[in-house]
Copies of this chain bind each other. A is one copy, B any other.
Amino acid sequence: MAKIVDHEQRRKEIVEVTAQIIASEGLEAVTTRRIAKASNCSLGILSHYFENKDQIVLGALNWCDERFEARLSEMYGEEFLGLTDFQPLFLTLLPLDELSDTEWRVRCNLVTYSLTHPQLKLLRKEKLDYSYDMAAKFVEKLQSEKEIRLDVDAVSLATLAVDTAFGLCINMLSFPMEERAAQVDRLLSLLSAALSDHIDQ
């Protein structure tokens, strides 16, 4: 009578715990013992679920993005609708609560990690390209609906937006949580002004 264990569930738990450790103590603090202890499981069991430590860490990266994507699809379903959707999307991405703060801390670790780990480098590039594409489609849609000015190159603007969002999120991590909302407010008014410029006329 084998104990029934939901492997996928177990894996997810381990990955989440690992992400928390990365977020709070950094990638260098992640040891197999640490993971096992925090996951309430034995050291050896880890190798039943993951080939090695790197795979757990990789899982932690995906966990972040899955969380973000889950929030998105919960908010919008399949398709983005218009400019009014931008702000909530933006707000759920930004590290404005403990949840996404953790996500961004993990992402920051893994972006750095990806600089020197070929496998992760590839993955990171794919994710980045995907973000650029999504953003470009969104911009194009907005332009086609004349919600934002048309005299800018959609791909360039989308790229810029993604880069800005990334830089903003990472830099925000250097600020206390309570100051971040105000930052975002100012930024949003600036952006909405700039984006709608030629529309308003």
Residues of chain B with a CB closer than 8 A to A163's CB: 164, 167-168, 171
Question: Quick check: is A70 within 8 A (CB to CB) of the other chain?
Answer: no
How many chain A residues sit at the interface, stated as a range, is: 35 or more
Question: Quick check: is A90 within 8 A (CB to CB) of the other chain?
Answer: no
The reply to whether B26 and A116 contact each other, CB–CB distance below 8 Å, is yes
Give the distance to chain B from A81, nearest Cβ to Cβ, in Å.
25
The reply to whether A115 and B121 contact each other, CB–CB distance below 8 Å, is no
Count of chain copies: 4
Known: A171-B163, A190-B153. A108 touches B116 (CB 8 A): no
Residues of chain B with a CB closer than 8 A to A189's CB: 156
CB-contact partner of A115 in B26, B168, B183, under 8 A: B26
Cα distance A82–B43 when bound, in Å? 57
Cα distance A193–B121 when bound, in Å? 33
The reply to whether B174 and A125 contact each other, CB–CB distance below 8 Å, is yes
Cα distance A10–B27 when bound, in Å? 31
Question: Quick check: is A109 within 8 A (CB to CB) of the other chain?
Answer: yes
| Apart from A26-B112, A109-B115, 19 more pairs, CB < 8 Å | A27-B112, A28-B28, A105-B115, A108-B111, A108-B115, A111-B112, A111-B170, A125-B174, A151-B193, A152-B193, A152-B194, A156-B190, A160-B168, A163-B168, A163-B171, A164-B168, A166-B171, A167-B167, A194-B194
Residues of A within 8 A of B (CB): 24-29, 105, 108-109, 111-117, 121, 124-125, 128, 151-153, 155-157, 159-160, 162-168, 170-171, 173-175, 183, 186-187, 189-191, 193-194, 197
